[in-house]
Amino acid sequence: MQWLKSAIRACIEWLESILDRVCGPTLNPLNQLGALGWFQFWLIAVSGIYLFIFFDTGVTQAYSSIESISRDQWWAGGILRSIHRYASDGLVLVAFLHMLREFAMDRMRGARWFAWVTGLVLIGFIYVCGITGYWMVWDQLAQYVALSTSRWLDALPIFAEPISRNFLSNAELSGRFFTLMVYLHIAAPLLMLLFMWVHIQRYNYALVNPALKLMIGTGAGFLLLSLVSPALSQAPANLDQIAATVGLDWFYLAFYPLMDRIGAVGLWWLVLAVFAVLLVLPWLPRLRESPAAVVHLDHCNGCSRCFDDCPFGAITMNPRSDGAAFSAEAVVDADLCVRCGICVGACPTATPFRRATALVPGIELPAFNLEALRDRVETVARTLTGESRILVFKCPHGAAVTPPVDTSVGVIEVPCTGMVPPPFIDFVVSRRLADGVMLAGCREGDCYERLGVRWTEQRIGGERDPYLRDRVSRDRVAVSWAGPGQGADRGQALAGFASALIRPPGGTQPGATAEQRAAWRQVPTRPSAPVRYAALGVMVCVSILLLGFFSHRPTVRLRADTAAIVTLSFSHAGRNRQECQRFSPEEMARLQPNMRRIGGDCPRGRWPVYVELELDGRVVYAGTRQPAGLWKDGPSTLFARFQVPAGAQRARVSLRDSGRDNGFDASATADLDLAPGQNLVVEFKQPGGFTFK
């Protein structure tokens, strides 16, 4: 598991650093996959509402209304239909990338299991939406989807009648089925939206809108794709025929060719197994955590800053419980706390200057208390020598601090840079414990604890409480946001910061020029605009090609070119195992008057139905179908399809439903001349016997 995680993580980080250089952290799509999912959901919803206005339910109306949308008003309905499809494909892509990334970055254990598990539910919803959507079009693909989905569901032993029997032939197909599909295709996204909301419930300031430019770019990409390769229906569905091949949307329907290989039951086991593994993943292994943040009521006046800053909604402000004259107090929910310490960084009492009483802030991490942090700062600072002594507060999730780590650089690891209270920076700089302070955290836009980087930037920038005081020269404070794969950037930033700090002899201010001082802030350096735009263009083209191609290619072969299909199906109740026993007059007399109407004892159990199909003397199917129902008193059902060579042949079908040992209760023969692709339905009904249609 660990090596898998690391391998995926390395790939993602490599991709991320490239995108960081091309788009910059704020526009890097990998930093906002979830938000991109939301955006695509809205695109799908809006285009779907428009399509719904023109969609007709009905066996032939469904297809023709969609054809009309795509052709008569290609400039509106057609484009929106394409956007509806491609954004749906994009949603699958983004959802899986999102999931893969949270897995690889190890962001689904501990308190974060909740988003992981609700995310899995969302993936289920995405598939329900997609499959019902493809079904509604009622083209060749829809036919494949309908039959495959029915077959898959029929493998569950819960239906008295196979759903597949709804799709026996054109003549028996009911228009009501499309009403049901429309209903499902609207209900599922609504429920999905509810779960999307639940999915982000535990996150404060959850990002649900990607950056504006990214939204515009994504939308434009879909529009371009819609014009280049509009989403069109395949040939209309015809249940009396089976097409040789069908173009497949691999984002949604890849399971169906797989089912053709491993069978419906096999697919159920596979899906259940994968789902079960994913479900328990947050606890494999269980995250071993230090104790959650604790509130020291003696030092908490209920100012709510920790509540405002907690990225995981682990803090609530409750009425005061200790009788102090304040109205509120912070309360930590240990089950939601991820031990990032961002609350400590927000607490106004977390200042290292306080000495008259112990350095106990209103809220802190027991395993990482502030007094120990101050001691560590002072201890490490004492070991520093040279002209540019730098104290680095480093989080464990970002890049390592590589050279120049010597006696001029001291590193103190904190759970998150957001945990460092700004007064600590003031403390280090004003007491000359070091010449400069560097806050070294995760890649910008992708803080492991979600908001540590953002709050740190805002606190230093004087935009968010607690401010880093203006009196602290910003020339002495550096930030370095770099992921584990960006160690070189970090080294460069550190070296640049160090050289900017070197003072001229006798001077007290950093001696470098403004440009030199600012140089380290430009790390990582980004390529020139033309290179960036070219790279961006390649990126967009690759995404478009990916979506445009796999949304209907490669095709799947459903039968051999020269083959025809024989469907053998019935829903027929075998005979009762026992005749009714009429009660004798004495037995009748013993019964209560209201029970005498029955007049006898009729056991409900039925015989199973045995059926055999031969083509030119070759047995194609022979099997016993058990009666449905807990008491084995329902009909026996069958829906089975066989590929047979086209051409003239003699069919013989026989059935036994009476429990006799040999011989048949009904049989029929027919001389068939099957055309390639023809779907011949052999059905048994009572009364009427076998029919060949």
Residues at the interface with other proteins (CB under 8 A): 299, 301-305, 324-327, 348-349, 351, 353-357, 362, 423, 426, 430-431, 465-467, 469-471
Helix (H) or strand (E) holding 600: strand 600-601
Nearer to other proteins, 20 or 309 (CB): 309
Strands 600-601 and 436-441: unpaired
Nearer to other proteins, 290 or 318 (CB): 318
Nearer to other proteins, 305 or 450 (CB): 305
Nearer to other proteins, 358 or 534 (CB): 358
Smallest distance, Å, CB 371 to other proteins? 13
Smallest distance, Å, CB 441 to other proteins? 24
CA 54 to chain centre: 30
Smallest distance, Å, CB 436 to other proteins? 18
Smallest distance, Å, CB 337 to other proteins? 21
Q: Cis peptide leading into 554, omega within 30 of 0? A: yes
How far apart (Å, rounded) are the C-alpha atoms in residues 427 and 354? 11
Which residues are CB-contacts of 261 (< 8 A; sequence separation ≥ 6)? none
Smallest distance, Å, CB 514 to other proteins? 24
Nearer to other proteins, 361 or 483 (CB): 361
How far apart (Å, rounded) are the C-alpha atoms in residues 485 and 47? 40
Which residues are CB-contacts of 85 (< 8 A; sequence separation ≥ 6)? 231, 249, 551
Nearer to other proteins, 158 or 356 (CB): 356
Smallest distance, Å, CB 391 to other proteins? 18
Smallest distance, Å, CB 156 to other proteins? 54
Contact 643, 634 (CB under 8 A): no
Smallest distance, Å, CB 322 to other proteins? 13
Cβ atoms < 10 Å from Cβ of 629: 14
Smallest distance, Å, CB 533 to other proteins? 41
Smallest distance, Å, CB 361 to other proteins? 8
Nearer to other proteins, 120 or 360 (CB): 360
Nearer to other proteins, 330 or 566 (CB): 330
Contact 398, 13 (CB under 8 A): no
Q: Smallest Cα–Cα separation from 88: which of 249, 275, 257?
A: 249
Nearer to other proteins, 418 or 491 (CB): 418
Smallest distance, Å, CB 330 to other proteins? 12
Smallest distance, Å, CB 373 to other proteins? 15
Nearer to other proteins, 281 or 317 (CB): 317
Contact 111, 337 (CB under 8 A): yes
Nearer to other proteins, 16 or 309 (CB): 309
How far apart (Å, rounded) are the C-alpha atoms in residues 336 and 110? 8
Which residue intervals of 155-233 are DSSP H helices?
Answer: 176-199, 212-228
Cβ atoms < 10 Å from Cβ of 74: 16
Encoded tokens for 515: 């440009």
In the sheet with 666-674, reading across from the earlier edge strand, the strands are 618-625, 609-615, 647-656, 666-674
How far apart (Å, rounded) are the C-alpha atoms in residues 92 and 41? 11
How far apart (Å, rounded) are the C-alpha atoms in residues 396 and 17? 18
Smallest distance, Å, CB 349 to other proteins? 5
Total length of the chain: 693
How far is the CA of 133 from the CAs of 414, 601, 618, 659, in angstroms? 49, 50, 41, 45
Partners of residue 93 on adjacent β-strands: none
Nearer to other proteins, 196 or 472 (CB): 472
Nearer to other proteins, 71 or 382 (CB): 382
Partners of residue 246 on adjacent β-strands: 556
How far apart (Å, rounded) are the C-alpha atoms in residues 404 and 398? 17
DSSP per-residue codes, 504-573:
PTT-SS--S-HHHHHHGGGPSPPPPHHHHHHHHHHHHHHHHHHHHHHTT-SEEE-S-TTEEEEEEEEEEP
